[in-house]
Chain A
Amino acid sequence: MTIDISQFYKVFFDEAEELLAEKERLLLAVDIDSPDPEDLNAIFRTAHSIKGGASTFGLNDMSEVTHVLESLLDRIRKGEMALTAQHVDAFLAAKDILKMQLDGHRNGADVDQEAVANVRMMLHDLSEGVIVPTHQPTVPSFLHAEPKQQVAEGAHRYKIELPDLAKRDVDALVDELGLLGRVSVVPLAAGRTALIIMTHESLDDIVAICSFVLDPSDLKIFEAPPLTPEQRAKEAAERARIEEEQGYGFFDPADPEDAGAHEPTEDELGYGFFQPIEQIRLEAGIVAEAPPPAPVRPEPLEITEVAAEKKAAKKGAEGAHAQGSESSSIRVSIEKVDQLINLVGELVITQAMIEQRSSGLDPMVHQRLLQSVAQLTRNTRDLQESVMSIRMMPMDFVFSRFPRMVRDLAGKLGKKVDFITNGAATELDKGLIERIVDPLTHLVRNSIDHGIEMPAARVAAGKSESGRLFLSAAHQGGNIVIEVADDGGGLNRERILAKAKENGLAVSDNMSDADVWQLIFAPGFSTAEIVTDVSGRGVGMDVVKRNIQALGGTIDIRSARGFGTTILISLPLTLAILDGMSIRSGDEIYILPLGFVVESLQPARADVKEIHGQGRVVKVRGEYLPLIPLYQMFNIEPRLTDPCEGILVILEAEGRKAALFVDELVGQQQVVVKNLEANYRKVAGISGATILGDGGVALILDVAALLRSSRQLSDESVLF
């Protein structure tokens, strides 16, 4: 049987990476003084799963590190040793080493062998004073054989009970015997091991091979009765099924027959992937001599459920034969998803066209057609929503990488930082998630490095010794707002202004704070000395801003001297589709992104006031808002010039509000955003275009830019 093992490597790598991330998360969360046994178990399990996988794929370096790690964890878990901060550090270091090794196997990245040795030494030292078991009591059962040789009918089955041997020797023996036939390892009581071998070779050959490693007189070899034809047929069928399902027969999933015969231990359930294929034969032949491995460690029941779920997920991931209840997720390449999203985008446009064209029909005559169209509209919208949700990922994907970074960085700088996240479940488009990581990393690092003060300085300023770093995500209108806040020293206005002058930027001392803070996004600020102080931050802030803007987002700073700094990033939920409100001004139709729209109203004449030379303002709920006539901004032939006859749409962006004067509201619809720059160029005040139901093009207004220009309009009476 030839199998493409590489795909299983990939699954293992992906899974190991997830496990490592999980482990890190658990380690960071663990309470050192009174660790929750549940957490310790979970940490242990991640190490154990990685070890299992690594050994199966012959990645010995990884399995060795995990082995040492696991031994230590096991002792802590059993309460033989108290958990200390030192342990956590060592475990984190081990995680890094494993990650490095994993990358080494996966991408051929360099592995620092010295670091590997150091960590192993460190782990070893920590468990000093106690003999580390030389072989694995923790692996319930483990299969090494490679099914190169198909074991045909008439083969003998032997059970070889080994004396107490080093794990290395057992492994060597298994490798050797693997050349003769199918071998599996079964742990026995008292730390000993038994091998089951199925082979055509004679007993003498087996003994000869064993004698390389140990004294043959120590061996106990039993010949198991050959399987009955029924058993063999059953087993062959079972094997064929498994092989078809999984592509190969290494891992025998828990056999229903087997499960019926004896109550499977929790270990077996949890790690069912590594159950020996020989289990059935064991059952059939030598049950008495090979009792099911005793549960070495009792585990809470829910763990097995988790593990079972994982197993199911993994099976699905392997694209195996879906067995309904077993598969809960699949891995699909992102291109396929994007293609699907594009197609649905086209469908939405087509559907809108049909809807529009049929709207002119007589509802009495075409009642059935119109009903179907309404149905189509609903279905399309549902389809679109489901498809878009495929790409949505929780912010946790980004947030989860910060606790470690914060811990390390704070430790390095000698600062104390409490890291708090909020809204990790907020979902965001995958494309955005990936591109937000770097800017956020930068901001978090800046906050710790330059924002939060040293403990002594904090105490002197009357604050708590440890600083707070707050990372949150939340939906706000059609946007997601990500906030990085610290309670550090805040930005230093004077220094920023001084630096700006030095860089030749046009600044004046009476600029508003908000404008001053924006200066740190200027390219010249990046490598400034200003960052050496508590106040300044600036390494690559221009890059951060550029990245955010490239995603269609905005970035805003609020800071108060001595009280900290908050950086607000506002991003669109998705780049492809937007809820829009179509509005008419003159003969032209524009789309307003619904997320910016607060309300729309027809003003009373008394509420519209003229400010000499500054345009008009309108009083809305006690607030005076600048009135932006769209026809004036876009040089549209106006139909209405009196705001009291038209409609005012109150818009809000970047903390500013304004009233946009349009002739009428046309409707509300989801639009597929098309890029204007692909064939043309960026247009001031326009963020993109979309195709309307009639096949025509409507431009999408860039609300933020409109509001910005409205301010300029009143300041200097210039457009854009």
Chain B
Amino acid sequence: MSTQPTNKPNDAHDGSGSEYLAFTLGSEEYGIDILKVQEIRGYETVTRIANAPEFIKGVINLRGIIIPVVDMRIKFNLGTPTYDQFTVVIILNIGGRIMGMVVDSVSDVTTLSPDQIKPAPEMGTAFNSDYLTGLGTVDERMLILIDIDKLMSSGEMGLMDRMAA
């Protein structure tokens, strides 16, 4: 089965700048390290998991492996969760574990140099600021940069066993 090797990024902020995948949730624009992204797919029918939190939509078959899909819009109360042909699932590879993340839309891939990244304020987003790495500015846009690794492995998401124990 295809287990993608974990592409270890050079810890996001080295001299040359890093690439971020920008996506929207409601009216906010977020960015995650592109190296954590395996692929982007359309939304397909998921198999619901009984008694799981609402934001865990269920599991899908990704070419023979079973992966969970979470809806960030439900998790963070952003936007209205609609599922149509435009709904996008970002497939992430977090330390060898594959998972899908439903977002409103994916805009582009942006390179941010370290001086474009400002430290995140203590408040202001739906995310716990622990999971933010900073705010990136690209022209008039502002990207909220998320430490997706940390977020997805957190107990809050309940995606991994050790947290559930």
Q: Write the residues of chain A forming the contact surface with B, with a CB cutoff of 8 angstroms.
A: 342, 346, 349, 588, 633-636, 674-686, 689, 691, 695-699, 719-720
| Given A681-B160, A681-B163, A719-B51, 9 additional A-B pairs, CB 8 A | A342-B1, A633-B50, A635-B51, A680-B59, A680-B66, A681-B164, A685-B50, A696-B45, A697-B61
* Chain A nearest CB, measured from B160 CB (Å): 6
A689–B60 Cα gap in the complex (Å)?
10
Q: Determine if B99 and A679 form an interchain contact, defined as CB atoms under 8 angstroms apart.
A: yes
Residues of B within 8 Å of A685, CB to CB, are: 50-51
A680–B153 Cα gap in the complex (Å)?
11
Q: Determine if A697 and B164 form an interchain contact, defined as CB atoms under 8 angstroms apart.
A: no
Residues of B within 8 Å of A674, CB to CB, are: 64-66
Interface centre among A634, A678, A679, A691, by most chain B C-beta atoms within 10 angstroms, is A679
Residues of B within 8 Å of A676, CB to CB, are: 59, 66
Task: Report how many A-B pairs have Cβ atoms within 8 Å.
Answer: 76
On whether A691 and B64 interact (CB within 8 A), knowing A679-B99, A682-B161, A682-B164, the answer reads yes
Q: Determine if A697 and B60 form an interchain contact, defined as CB atoms under 8 angstroms apart.
A: yes
Residues of B within 8 Å of A696, CB to CB, are: 45, 47, 61
* Chain B nearest CB, measured from A338 CB (Å): 12
Residue among A349, A681, A698 making CB contact with B161, cutoff 8 Å: A681
Residues of A within 8 Å of B1, CB to CB, are: 342
Q: Chain B, 113-147, contact with A by CB distance < 8 Å: what is the 0/1 string? A: 00000000000000000000000000000000000
Residues of A within 8 Å of B163, CB to CB, are: 681
Q: Determine if B51 and A720 form an interchain contact, defined as CB atoms under 8 angstroms apart.
A: yes
Residue among A681, A698, A720 making CB contact with B159, cutoff 8 Å: A681
Determine the residue in chain A with the shortest Cβ distance to B59.
Answer: A697
Q: Determine if B64 and A697 form an interchain contact, defined as CB atoms under 8 angstroms apart.
A: no
17 contacts between A and B (CB under 8 A): A342-B1, A346-B64, A588-B47, A633-B50, A634-B50, A679-B67, A679-B98, A680-B67, A680-B159, A683-B51, A689-B59, A689-B66, A696-B45, A696-B47, A697-B66, A699-B59, A719-B51
Determine the residue in chain A with the shortest Cβ distance to B99.
Answer: A679
Q: Chain B, 7-46, contact with A by CB distance < 8 Å: what is the 0/1 string? A: 0000000000000000000000000000000000000011
* Chain B nearest CB, measured from A371 CB (Å): 28
Residues of B within 8 Å of A346, CB to CB, are: 64
A181–B64 Cα gap in the complex (Å)?
63
Q: Determine if B67 and A683 form an interchain contact, defined as CB atoms under 8 angstroms apart.
A: no
A349–B1 Cα gap in the complex (Å)?
14
Q: Write the residues of chain B forming the contact surface with A, with a CB cutoff of 8 angstroms.
A: 1, 45-52, 58-61, 64-68, 97-99, 158-161, 163-164
A689–B61 Cα gap in the complex (Å)?
10
A636–B51 Cα gap in the complex (Å)?
10
Residues of A within 8 Å of B159, CB to CB, are: 680-681
A689–B66 Cα gap in the complex (Å)?
8
Interface centre among B50, B97, B98, by most chain A C-beta atoms within 10 angstroms, is B50
A36–B61 Cα gap in the complex (Å)?
62
A720–B65 Cα gap in the complex (Å)?
27
Q: Determine if B51 and A695 form an interchain contact, defined as CB atoms under 8 angstroms apart.
A: no
A678–B52 Cα gap in the complex (Å)?
17
A698–B46 Cα gap in the complex (Å)?
10
Determine the residue in chain B with the shortest Cβ distance to A349.
Answer: B64
Residue among B49, B61, B98 making CB contact with A686, cutoff 8 Å: B49
Determine the residue in chain B with the shortest Cβ distance to A672.
Answer: B64
Q: Determine if B52 and A683 form an interchain contact, defined as CB atoms under 8 angstroms apart.
A: yes
* Chain B nearest CB, measured from A482 CB (Å): 28
A697–B99 Cα gap in the complex (Å)?
15
A699–B64 Cα gap in the complex (Å)?
14
* Chain A nearest CB, measured from B163 CB (Å): 8
A686–B68 Cα gap in the complex (Å)?
14
* Chain B nearest CB, measured from A563 CB (Å): 39
Residues of B within 8 Å of A697, CB to CB, are: 46-47, 58-61, 66
Residues of A within 8 Å of B51, CB to CB, are: 634-635, 683-685, 719-720
Residues of B within 8 Å of A684, CB to CB, are: 51
* Chain A nearest CB, measured from B109 CB (Å): 24
A310–B103 Cα gap in the complex (Å)?
65
Interface centre among A349, A633, A675, A683, by most chain B C-beta atoms within 10 angstroms, is A683
* Chain A nearest CB, measured from B75 CB (Å): 15
Q: Determine if A681 and B50 form an interchain contact, defined as CB atoms under 8 angstroms apart.
A: no
A680–B65 Cα gap in the complex (Å)?
11
Determine the residue in chain A with the shortest Cβ distance to B46.
Answer: A697
Residues of B within 8 Å of A699, CB to CB, are: 47, 49, 59
Residues of A within 8 Å of B161, CB to CB, are: 677, 681-682
Residues of A within 8 Å of B97, CB to CB, are: 678-679
Residues of B within 8 Å of A681, CB to CB, are: 158-161, 163-164
Residue among A678, A682, A683, A691 making CB contact with B50, cutoff 8 Å: A683
Interface centre among A349, A636, A696, A719, by most chain B C-beta atoms within 10 angstroms, is A696
Determine the residue in chain B with the shortest Cβ distance to A633.
Answer: B50
* Chain B nearest CB, measured from A370 CB (Å): 25
Determine the residue in chain B with the shortest Cβ distance to A691.
Answer: B61
Determine the residue in chain A with the shortest Cβ distance to B48.
Answer: A588
Interface centre among B64, B68, B163, B164, by most chain A C-beta atoms within 10 angstroms, is B64
On whether A683 and B65 interact (CB within 8 A), knowing A676-B59, A697-B60, the answer reads no
A681–B159 Cα gap in the complex (Å)?
6
Determine the residue in chain A with the shortest Cβ distance to B49.
Answer: A683
A588–B49 Cα gap in the complex (Å)?
10
* Chain B nearest CB, measured from A311 CB (Å): 42
Residues of B within 8 Å of A678, CB to CB, are: 65-66, 97
Q: Determine if A679 and B68 form an interchain contact, defined as CB atoms under 8 angstroms apart.
A: yes
* Chain A nearest CB, measured from B85 CB (Å): 17
Determine the residue in chain A with the shortest Cβ distance to B62.
Answer: A679
A719–B58 Cα gap in the complex (Å)?
19
Q: Determine if A680 and B50 form an interchain contact, defined as CB atoms under 8 angstroms apart.
A: no
Q: Determine if A679 and B49 form an interchain contact, defined as CB atoms under 8 angstroms apart.
A: no
* Chain B nearest CB, measured from A351 CB (Å): 14
A588–B159 Cα gap in the complex (Å)?
22
Residues of B within 8 Å of A686, CB to CB, are: 49-50
A697–B61 Cα gap in the complex (Å)?
6
A261–B70 Cα gap in the complex (Å)?
81
* Chain B nearest CB, measured from A151 CB (Å): 56
* Chain B nearest CB, measured from A107 CB (Å): 32
Interface centre among B48, B58, B158, by most chain A C-beta atoms within 10 angstroms, is B48
Determine the residue in chain A with the shortest Cβ distance to B161.
Answer: A681
Residue among A588, A680, A691, A719 making CB contact with B68, cutoff 8 Å: A680
* Chain B nearest CB, measured from A676 CB (Å): 6
On whether A679 and B50 interact (CB within 8 A), knowing A691-B61, A697-B59, the answer reads no
Q: Which 5 A-B pairs have the closest CB atoms?
A: A634-B50, A681-B161, A697-B47, A680-B68, A679-B67
